[in-house]
Amino acid sequence: MNIIVPIKQVPDLVEELEINSSGTDLDREWLKMKLSEFDDHALEEALLIKDDQGATVTAIALASDDIDKALFAAAAKGADRLIKITGVEGSSTHEAAKAMANAIQNIDYDIIMTGVQAVDDRDGQLAVLLAHYLSVPHVSVVTGVELSGNKLVVHKEYGGGMVAEFEGTTPIVLGIQAAKETPRYVPVAKVRRAMRSSSIEEVSSGDLGVDSGSTVSKMYKPESGGGAEMIDGSAEDQASKLMEILTQKGVK
């Protein structure tokens, strides 16, 4: 069983986001990046399958500033093979998906698992675009995968906690919403060891010939939708003022 896990780094939303001088993108100079949380879940689900029944897990990513660290962290968690795709200038999901498809076409794979979405995939989610460039079926918003041979049962989550169950065969692309377990944690020391013991293969993106098909005219912070009336003061003061409001509104 060969599982490929496309991963990427995204801005850490805990940090304050600033807009660049052209007003069309984030100011990336001081931006703190982290592994996209859904990709972390996709990697975890792949590693759970490896732990359970054996599999070769390949983490693959487009070249970017912090990506080596993210790939080595994947190795430290249990990924067997690391691949970095070079030569992609743009940042659209269409280009990323086409570059991934070009690289993956030369690799034996049964399942591709990636995060169901990312915080910055304006022109669409990777899983479905990639599946269509590769002409294989896909299921998104996946919260469960059970494998037996080349058959798999996939759980796709709808609203309200409702789940649809599908049966499919490999090859398939899955957009993972949540792994069965909380993604594992690796200590930095283990990532450092992985940096010494594993290596990253580099492949070229090949011909892309696609783009997002749209251009950004403006990025801006959303206007406060009426905005909240802010309650200031110490925690003590704020709690007192909130009590008054709740009493006045008849909630308490």
Partner 1 sequence: MSNQILVVIEHLKGNIEDISFEMLGKAKEISSNTGGELVALLMGNGVDGMAGQLGISDKVIYVDDENLAEFNPQAYCKTVASVVADMQPKLVMIGNTSMGMDIAGGVSVDQNMPFIAYVSGISGDGNTITSSLYGGKMNVDSAHTGDGCVVSVISGSFPADAGRMDGSPSVENATAPDLSNLSLQFKQLIEPESGDVDITTQEILVSVGRGIQSDDNLPMVEELASKLGGAVSCSRPIVDSKWLAKTRQVGKSGLKVKPKLYLTLGISGAPEHIEGMKDADLIVAVNTDPNAPIFDYAHYGIVQDIFDFIPALNDKL
Q: Using CB under 8 A, which of 155, 184, 190, 193 touches partner 1?
A: 155
# residues near partner 1 by CB under 8 A: 84
Nearest to partner 1 of 89, 223 (CB atom):
223
8 counts as binding partner 1 under rule CB under 8 A: no
Strand 138-148 to 151-157 pairing: antiparallel
Q: Using CB under 8 A, which of 156, 194, 205, 208 touches partner 1?
A: 156
Contact 127, 230 (CB under 8 A): no
112 counts as binding partner 1 under rule CB under 8 A: no
Contact 60, 85 (CB under 8 A): yes
Find the binding residues for partner 1 in span 125-154 (CB under 8 A).
125, 127-129, 131-133, 137-141, 153
Find the binding residues for partner 1 in span 173-232 (CB under 8 A).
175, 177-178, 182, 212-232
Closest CA to 128 of 112, 144, 147, 143: 112
Q: Using CB under 8 A, which of 22, 26, 53, 201 touches partner 1?
A: 26
Nearest to partner 1 of 78, 171 (CB atom):
171
Q: Using CB under 8 A, which of 20, 169, 199, 204 touches partner 1?
A: 169
166 counts as binding partner 1 under rule CB under 8 A: yes
Contact 78, 57 (CB under 8 A): yes
Contact 90, 214 (CB under 8 A): no
Nearest to partner 1 of 201, 211 (CB atom):
211
Residue 252, CA distances (Å) to 232, 245, 247 in order: 21, 9, 5
Closest distance to partner 1 from the beta carbon of 63 (Å): 22
Residues 141 and 61: their CA atoms lie apart, in Å, by: 21
Find the binding residues for partner 1 in span 58-77 (CB under 8 A).
none
Q: Using CB under 8 A, which of 148, 159, 196, 207 touches partner 1?
A: 159
Residue 92, CA distances (Å) to 18, 62, 81, 125, 210 in order: 20, 12, 25, 10, 9
